[in-house]
Amino acid sequence: MPASIGVLIAMSLVVAILAVYRKVVARNEDDIVHLTDPTGQLVKNQLKTMRSLRSVDRAGVGFTIATGVYAIVLLAFYLYTGFTHPPGMM
């Protein structure tokens, strides 16, 4: 297996791990607006979860775009190489 395919697999695994991690973080999400929270702890927990989800989402989008671009470039390279140097023609 070429190293470039290994890199693509590794990048895809990072995207999958980020998706699973986001699912785990979102499990603790509280969507209810707490108007009467005497200690303020519920709102603090909501803000903490929101910040975590935002950072995971930002990283997920970045890694997904990078993986997609890398895959397209890799595909273009292999197609170009296949058309310019067909097997058995060397």
SS3 7: helix
pLDDT of residue 1: 59
User: Within the chain, what is the greatest distance between any pair of CA atoms?
Assistant: 78
SS3 72: helix
Residue the block writes with tokens 């603090």: 44
pTM of the model: 0.79
C-beta separation of 11 from 66 below 8 A: yes
Q: Nearest 5°: CA angle at 7, between 22 and 24?
A: 10
Per-position pLDDT tens, the chain of length 90: 589 999 999 999 999 999 999 999 888 777 777 777 777 788 888 888 889 999 999 999 999 999 999 999 999 999 998 888 877 655
